[in-house]
Chains A and B, each alone.
Chain A
Amino acid sequence: MSLKITYNEEQLIAGLRLQKKESFEELYDRFNGPVYGVIFNILKSDELAQDVLQESFVKIWRNFSKYDAKKGSLFTWILNVARNKAIDKYRSLSRKPEFSGLSSAIEEKPSVENLERSVENKIDVRYGLEKLKEEHQEVLNVVYFRGCSHQEAADELNLPLGTVKTRVRSALIELRKIFSEIGN
């Protein structure tokens, strides 16, 4: 599959800067699937993920002036707003074990093995992460799903800092190959 942009991203961004709700609706329609998927794989709970999805999109709407097109793409920016919110939620909940009813949700740590296969997903790249080597999955679990910094990951996995950095890079390079193979 390819992420070839068929819509006019510049127009969308301009509309969002002007706080046009039609632009925002377009943004939601286009990106709610991947954003929800990422949040869900971090929190492993529909209830929690839906709250965070809602909060994330409202935050994107209200803080859009903070988006700097020179620093990166729109999609990456909104993914990071959502991922950060989900990770914050995960961290705040995992500090409160008395949060009954939801404790079962947070006990199951987000990881590549626990990824839910979505039946709505027509794009067969959901196995991309599972095709990675053990050591690549390990660093992505910690850095991508749990939002650890390089240093935190190094401490947690007992690896040199340089190794964590290069392994994350290798993992993403591998994923790039896997995704391009699937596209053919």
Chain B
Amino acid sequence: MEIEAYISSGILEGYVLHALSSQEMQEVECMSHIYPEIKVELSKIEMVYEQLAVSQSKLPPPAIKDAVMAVINSDVGSNPDETSIDSEAQKQFSDSEADKEVKAIAMKTTWMAVAASVLVIIGLSLVTLEMRSSNKELTKGLDDLKTTNQELLAKVDASKEVQENQESILSALAQNGTVSISLQGVEGKPKSSSVTVLWNQNNEQAFLAMGKLPEPPSDKQYQLWALVDGAPVDMGVFDIDKSDLQKMKTISGAQAFAITLEQKGGSPSPTLSEMYVIGNVPS
């Protein structure tokens, strides 16, 4: 399971111990909202982190508490009238920062709501005027909106797909045992050609990351091969216009990967004269 791999990578321990970059921290927070297993694992790690601290317990001199409380008292006591108010009232009339913030946000929201309703009223009256003057224009406007809406929905679907793909990339990259194999141009083919294969030797999954390959003729397609004990094994065909990782077939025992140009749909065995790139699996 992808989540188990993400957890096994040790990134969550890094989060609790503050050993991550801020980008990685955001990634963990994001993942923990999506996957409850991650929240569970984070609590387990926090528990041992806390036990570790308790195991180092050392009592400081009592004077430290006095010093700390003196600062606290001076912070609280800066408004002497407050200390005599009881806690219930304090809740109502509290000047604490949190309450100030909440009040400010509430006020802002109220003003925003008022402003928004004013705008709606103005907008409605404008629309009414427009309606009276040109009904045809409105209908056209509505149609335009519908098209835009459909385009937006399509974009949302597309970005959902991108997000799902990104999540599988994340887990592919996070997994232990993933090696990166760089496939470079061969003799007689463009030197600038390059493709990267990410292959996990544990779960046998393979992903292809497009680098650069020449545009194939419309009746041909690139095919990935794995070399196992010297013999080529089909890993599937792919397109060069995809910018995300493409999942290929699974393979074990690959010593190298290569790409040839075949008829559209692929070929049972590679056309060696049409090999474009090749790369060895690091040992």
Give residues in A with beta carbon < 8 Å to B: 1, 3, 17-21, 24-25, 28-29, 32-38, 40-41, 49-50, 53-54, 57-58, 61-62, 65, 71-73, 75-76, 79-80, 83-84, 115-116, 118, 120-121, 123, 125-126, 128-129, 143-144, 147-151, 153, 162, 164-169, 172, 175-176, 179
Contact = CB atoms under 8 A, between A and B. Distances in A.
A37 B64 contact: no
Contact of A165 (B10, B29, B68): B10
A32 B72 contact: no
Interface string B7-20: 01111111011111
Contacts, number: 178
Contacts of A79: 49-50, 53
Q: Which 6 A-B pairs have the closest CB atoms?
A: A165-B10, A37-B56, A169-B10, A125-B55, A33-B57, A34-B53
A154 to B, nearest CB: 11
A37 B58 contact: yes
B54 interface: yes
B59 interface: yes
Given A19-B96, A38-B53, A54-B68, A72 B16 contact: yes
B66 to A, nearest CB: 10
Given A153-B19, A168-B17, A18 B55 contact: no
Nearest to A166: B10
Contacts of A17: 96, 98
Given A84-B18, A149-B19, A126 B68 contact: no
B51 interface: yes
B58 A121 contact: yes
A165 B9 contact: yes
A176 B72 contact: no
16 contacts: A1-B51, A18-B94, A18-B96, A20-B87, A32-B60, A34-B57, A36-B64, A50-B61, A50-B64, A54-B67, A54-B68, A126-B56, A149-B19, A150-B14, A164-B10, A176-B44
B18 A118 contact: no
B181 to A, nearest CB: 17
Nearest to A121: B57
A166 B9 contact: yes
Interface in B184-228: none
Given A19-B96, A65-B98, A79-B50, A165 B16 contact: no
A151 B10 CA distance: 13
Interface in B27-63: 29, 42-61
Contacts of A38: 53, 56
B21 interface: yes
B134 interface: no
Contact of A168 (B19, B51, B64, B94): B19
Given A76-B49, A165-B11, A175-B52, A21 B73 contact: yes
B75 to A, nearest CB: 7
* Most A Cβ at <10 Å: residue of B29, B51, B101: B51
B71 interface: yes
B29 A71 contact: yes
Contacts of A65: 97-98, 101
Interface in B161-186: 176
A165 B14 contact: yes
B150 interface: no
A61 B75 contact: yes
A118 B46 contact: no
A15 to B, nearest CB: 9
B143 to A, nearest CB: 44
B199 to A, nearest CB: 15
Contacts of A115: 56
Contact of A175 (B11, B51, B67): B51
Nearest to A34: B53
B50 A3 contact: yes
B244 to A, nearest CB: 23
B10 A37 contact: no
Nearest to B99: A18
B90 interface: yes
Interface string B75-96: 1100000000001001100101
Given A19-B76, A143-B19, A179 B48 contact: yes
A38 B58 CA distance: 8
Contacts of B76: 19, 21
